[in-house]
Amino acid sequence: MQRIATIPAIIEQHVEDAAFLWHRRSREIDGPVMGAFDIGRIDQRLDANLDGLFAAGQAAWDLASARFADYQEPPELFLLGALAFEWQSTPEIKFVLESAGRLGKSGLSALSGAVARSSPGKLEPFVARWLDSTVAMERALGVGALHHHGVNPGPRLTGLLTDRDAEVRRRALKLAGARRRRDVIAEVWVCLEARSVEERLEAAVAACLLGEARLAHPMFDKMMASNPELAGAVIEIRLLTTPSIAARSWWQQFVSTAATREAAVAASGLLGDMAIMPWLIERMQSPELGYAAGLALRDLIEIDFNDTDVFVTDPAKLGPKFETIEATPLPCPSRAQAWWDNGRGPARFGKFQSMRRLKLDAMKGALANAEIALTNWRRSRPIPAWM
């Protein structure tokens, strides 16, 4: 790491901006509001700030470390990880690994983000060491590096799927599905009986990607009954892997159940049936279901709703019942009804694909063709600097 002449105020601004931009990106990367163009603009700004910090050397590390001492949060740890990996500095990498261990799952997620933004060449000297580490968090980070950079680990995947740590196995399951590794289906099936429900869910998703959706469906149904907190993820993959008529029949039983109603409403757009619009607008009138109905609307109709007045960011505008609702933006039922009644449906607008839609389409494409790897919908898409 070099010591060069720097202007502290500028470096400090880079530190603050980079942490903020990564935090925003991590919140929106699979979301229903931003598309690839929006994420591309964030990426462009994030990369510019990181480049400034990479060039600043020791001064950047000192200021980023001072910020982390005050705010031991994932965005600050991401930034330190990005610097350490870029410089391939062993002491700094040791520091970020230990810091991630203290933060737990959120720390691992932050370092995974830094790994995803680092070039494979910068990571290569460390990934093999992480995979062989006695520290479970480091092994999990190594598996994440393989997944983020599309690396097939070959025979080693079997050992990762039978690792003694649940998080390592969960990440290995994600890697197995993305790389379409049918040769490890037996290990995937073993993970369906894991103690952790998150691991069982990942195993069932991997089974679907490996061509065994029909056999994974009973596991999804069991999760809906015993783990309603996972209903959103379960309903999504279940609908994607079920023929349309059967999918609607399956979905209806959960939209009428209190514990799973909100998740079922949120997923209703995946049914692809415009006839549900009156029903969906009615759900928008409920404070408990309004946000979920808005998510479904964005799935159902692929336009940029920022070009309409259908959504509001101030819940109070929807009446006293909505004043305590924190999730935004919320659809306004009367505006949605007027927009729909006036023929201002999808034909009047250019097609817009949110990051969530890109994710769903990547899953659909992989499920339809067992020979191709799962598309990396999260990849950065650079845009012209003047846009």
What type of residue sits at position 253?
Q
pLDDT for 169-206, tens place per residue? 999 999 999 999 999 999 999 999 999 999 999 999 99
Band of residue 382 on the pLDDT scale cut at 50, 70, 90:
low
pLDDT at 5: 46
Measured at the alpha carbon of residue 44, what is the angle toward residues 385 and 41, in degrees to the nearest 5? 80
Provide the 10 A C-beta neighbour count for residue 101: 15
**Cα separation of 147 and 128, whole Å?**
14
Residue 347: is its pLDDT beyond 70? no
Helix (H) or strand (E) segment spanning residue 119:
none
pLDDT at 3 > cutoff 60: no
pLDDT of residue 177: 97
Q: How far, in Å, CA of 376 to CA of 15, rounded?
A: 28
Find out whether 367 and 241 touch, Cβ atoms under 8 Å.
Answer: yes
Buried b (16+ CB within 10 A) or exposed e, 168-207: bbbbbbbbbbbbbbeebbebbbebbebeeeebbbbbbbbb
Residue 377's contacts (CB-CB under 8 Å, 6 or more residues apart) are 355, 358, 359, 361, 362
Please choose, from the candidates 103, 67, 49, the residue with its C-alpha nearest in 3D space to the C-alpha of residue 112.
103
Interval 129-142: pLDDT, tens: 999 999 999 999 99
Closest CA to 176 of 366, 357, 380: 366
Measured distance CA(285)–CA(325) in Å, rounded = 13
For the chain, state the CA radius of gyration: 22
pLDDT tens for each residue of 20-29 = 999 999 999 9
Q: Is the pLDDT of residue 385 over 60?
A: no
Residues in Cβ contact with 5 at an 8 Å cutoff, skipping those fewer than 6 apart: none
pLDDT in tens, 6-20: 678 999 999 999 999
Average pLDDT for 302-316: 93
**Integer Cα distance of 137 and 141 in angstroms:** 6
Top pLDDT among 378 and 179 is at 179
CB atoms under 10 Å from CB of 262, counted, come to: 21
Q: Who has greater pLDDT, 4 or 176?
A: 176
Helix and strand numbers, DSSP H then E, in the chain: 20, 2
pLDDT tens digits, 86-105: 999 999 999 999 999 999 99
The pLDDT value given to residue 387: 44
pTM of the model: 0.92
User: pLDDT averaged over the chain?
Assistant: 93
Assign 3-state DSSP to the chain and report helix, strand, coil percentages, each to 5.
70, 0, 30
**249-304, pLDDT tens digit by residue?**
999 999 999 999 999 999 999 999 999 999 999 999 999 999 999 999 999 999 99
pLDDT band at 346 (very low <50, low <70, confident <90, very high): low
For every residue of 338-378, which 3-state class applies, written as one string? Answer: HHHHCCCCHHHCCCCCEHHHHHHHHHHHHHHCCCCCCCCCC
Return phi, psi of residue 261, to 5°.
-60, -50
Beta-carbon contacts of 333 under 8 Å, excluding residues fewer than 6 positions away, are 281, 282, 284, 285, 290, 318
